[in-house]
Structure 1
Amino acid sequence: MLPSRDYVRVLDVLRKGLEDIAVKETSITYIDGKMGRLFYRGYSIFDLAELSSFEEVSFLLWKNKLPNIRELETFKKTMAEQREVPGQILEYLAKIDPSSNPMDVLRTTVSMMGTADRSDSDNFEKSIRLTSKIPTIITSFHRIRAGLSPVQPDSSLTHASNFLYMLTGQKPSEVEEKTMDVVLILHADHEMNASTFACLVIASTLSDIYSSVIGGISALKGPLHGAANSEALKMFLEIGSPDNVEEYVYKRLSRKERLMGFGHRIYKTYDPRALILRSYADKITSVKGNRNLYEIARKIEEIAVRSLGQKGIYPNVDFYSGLVFYSLGFSPEFFPTVFASSRVVGWTAQVMEYLNDNRLIRPKAIYVGDIEKSYVPIEDRS
């Protein structure tokens, strides 16, 4: 017997993937998908990428205002002081199988941080610790996998500069530092994506903020969310030369195969983050000697937009971000961790905002199976 007609009628409200379903009000991030605009706390992402810094954007997202000079200097000092990680985390990184998925390792070490943090600090202070320590975890494991010793953080450097210093052991150039800073700004938040929603579901139970971030990392690990940038880079490497782009793209399109880094559920025009990253991919590949990959990307973009643009399919942030990460020295398997190192700011900002007016998140499912079945004893079942 099927459920009653009145019950089945609620099928009308089913939205697969929760598409277009709002779960909270927010003053953090606004996306205008039709016009290709993105705002953090009302400030255009174009202005923030050009004029701001990751530390300033983090303060903005957490505190809902731009800091003054004194506030920013104090905040930067606080972040820098929190970069070192507990010794047991470094011991774990040295012992873990080097072939382990970096996102699994990041998830486990954040859990270790939560276990070790028995302070009475509020969520803002814990968010600073998470944001400051995660790059140390990422770069330490990155170097250990390569047979190198971790590099201790340098408190005199900016967040972006120190990140690259811990990765390579060398102070980055101005171009490298600015590129890294912009990458972190662009990935800091993006409204109600899958990983952010995962964080909110956990936070709504009044679990701790470390558990919420672990949920975000776990969701971001999925190839449909955090790994598309590495797939885009693999596509560039596979093509090998700008001369091969046209045949490659048209073959994929003729087979109705997806071009990695194209299309977005919200943006129906250019993702503004992709436009910004394109200019930085141009600069960083010129400096790092892999200009060929940028030329491949530009040619793919030109052909694909001509073919797909009328359908509202344009490059998203992942199309150029992988190329930028790669040019800065990160291995492709670490791209999602770099994404997470920035998005932790947005995750924690969204969690803190939600907890100001918390309600346990408990959606419903639409039952489509039979009911009132007769139970058959096991000896009578065929």
Structure 2
Amino acid sequence: MELRKGLEDIAVKETSITYIDGELGRLYYRGYSIFDLAEFSNFEETAYLIWYGKLPNREELSEIREKLASKRELPPSVTKYLMEIKKDSNPMDVLRTAVSMLGVEDTDNSSIMEKSISITSKIPTIIAYFLRLRRGEDIVHPDESLSHAENFYYMVNGKRPSDLESKAMNAALILHMDHEMNASTFACLVVASTLSDIYSSVVAGISALKGPLHGGANSEALKQFMEIGDKEKAEEYVLSKLTKGERLMGFGHRIYKTYDPRAKILKGYAEGITKEKGIYNLYEVAQKVEEVGVKYLGSKGIYPNVDFYSGLVFYSLGFDADMFPTIFASARVVGWTAHVMEYLRNNRLIRPKAIYVGEIGRKYVPIDDRQ
């Protein structure tokens, strides 16, 4: 039996949701280029595409917008939990527990699709409420007249976004919606394959995304830029990291051997929105780190990934660095639930093998005779 650590290059299902070309740096949702979706689409339309397999017509788009908008508010028990939880709690722990509580509160028999829409609409509310409460601010209740991305920004900042902020928020969420069979998506499928419920699957995805090897790199990349502080110090910083054999945060990806297309898109938004927010110096630092990093690592197929510029965008939109993985989850829940529904159409319990390397036939020794 061949051992493939990390299940690298092992396929567990067929999918029509997402296609990645790691050699050429291309990403497609349901056959549509991520460049087109980030430029022309919005959260609701792209979520519909991923869930239903096609772009919606006007009536379908209006219906999904209304459904998402109408399900944003939380059950009183979940809001009470957010008010009482320790304010220094890990945001991903808070989100994981809150989503689990949503599952307890949900006692109806609606479809997995309807539950997926409900979870997707409520996760931004959980994030925004906790963020404001721990800052000592009053919570801002959802506004059904706003789009999904606009309302998310509004609940965090207490004001409506500018056109650029709205566009950046939509693009960032779209770019994080799905990425084929990553660790958190696989975690969701393992749970779903047992015929457990969708809330349990999403909780598994959040738990996997919490890990620093998966969902936490964007906050580390931002901290890196803040630590450098000045673009003139960037080259020395990068060379010092590489000389010590340390990782340059936001660089490298298991699949992409060239620029991550999501990083290319987010770079443009990072430039514009940092200018608007008066923190353009952080973008200049990031740009210089990219330049030096590519110079020394590009020949090895190591380039900026989605985390490199996403932290700058999220920070400019009013989010604290340790909240970034929760924003990632708020978008990726669309992909998680879509993959679960796709897998369950031809379900098989996920039950891999392990290669035993221990001893056989050891003699049991009574406890009084053991050394």
Q: TM-score, normalised by structure 1?
A: 0.96
Aligned to 1:108: 97
CA distance in 2: counterparts of 1:366 and 1:261, whole angstroms: 34
1:131 aligns with 2:120: yes
Residue 311 of structure 1 is aligned with which of 291, 300, 307? Answer: 300
4+ long deviations beyond 6 Å: none
Q: Which residue of 1 aligns with 2:186?
A: 197
Give how far 1:49 is off: 0.4
| 2:46 alignment counterpart | 57
Query: Which whole-Å deviations, capped at 9, do the CAs of 1:66-115 have from their partners, x for residues lacking one?
Result: 00011101111111111111111111111111011111110111011000
Distance 2:178 2:6 in 1: 20
Q: How much has 1:379 moved relative to structure 2?
A: 2.1
* 1:376, distance to aligned residue in structure 2 (A): 2.1
Instruction: State how far apart, in whole Å, the 2-side matches of 1:121 and 1:211 are.
Output: 16
- For 2:292 and 2:126, locate their aligned partners in 1 and report how far apart those are by CA, in whole Å: 39
Give the counterpart of 1:27 among 16, 22, 47: 16
Say yes or no: does 1:365 pair with 2:364: no
Matched residues in 1 for 2:322 and 2:240: separation? 27
Alignment-derived partner of residue 225 in structure 1: 214
Other structure's SS at 2:20 match:
strand
How far apart are the structure 2 equivalents of 1:342 and 1:288? 24
Tell me which of 149, 153, 156 is aligned to 2:138.
Answer: 149
Between the aligned partners of 2:48 and 2:178, the Cα distance in structure 1 is: 13
2:342 alignment partner AA: E
For 1:123 and 1:291, the matched residues in 2 are separated by 43
Looking at structure 1, the residues matched to 297 and 63 of structure 2 have their Cα atoms a distance apart, in angstroms, of: 48
Distance 2:4 2:26 in 1: 25
Q: CA–CA distance in 2 between the matches of 1:19 and 1:198?
A: 15
What is the CA-CA distance between 1:32 and the residue it aligns to? 0.4
* Structure 2, gaps ≥5 residues long: none
Match of 2:205 in 1: 216
Q: 1:245 is matched with which residue: 210, 234, 255?
A: 234
In 2, the alpha carbon distance for the partners of 1:252 and 1:332 equals 22
Letter in 1 for 2:115: K
Query: Equivalents in 2 of 1:326, 1:300: separation in Å?
Result: 18
Partner of 2:334: 345
Give the alignment partner of residue 171 of structure 1, picking from 155, 160, 168. Answer: 160
**Which secondary structure state, in structure 2, belongs to the residue aligned with residue 30 of structure 1?**
strand
Residue 97 of structure 1 aligns to which amino acid in structure 2?
K
Q: Work out the CA distance in 1 between the residues paired with 2:226 and 2:165.
A: 22
TM-score by length of 2: 0.99
Deviations 1:118-151 (A, max 9, x none): 1110010001101101101100000000000110
Q: Distance in 2 between matches of 1:96 and 1:377?
A: 48
Alignment-derived partner of residue 364 in structure 2: 375
Q: How many angstroms apart in 2 are the aligned matches of 1:381 and 1:74? A: 70
- Give 3-state SS (helix, strand or coil) of 2:94's partner: helix
In 2, Cα distance between the equivalents of 1:303 and 1:108?
41
Q: CA deviation at 1:380?
A: 2.1
Tell me which residue corresponds to 1:187. Answer: 176
- Please tell me the root mean square deviation across aligned C-alpha atoms, in Å: 0.6
Q: In the alignment, residue 235 of structure 1 is paired with which amino acid? A: Q
1:42 maps to amino acid: G
**Matched residue count:** 371
Which among 296, 317, 322 is matched to residue 285 of structure 2? 296
Identical columns (%): 67
What's the CA shift for 1:377?
2.2
Cα displacement (A) at 1:369: 1.0
For residue 326 of structure 1, what is the amino acid of its counterpart? Y
Please say if 1:259 is aligned against 2:248: yes
CA distance in 2, matches of 1:248, 1:105: 34
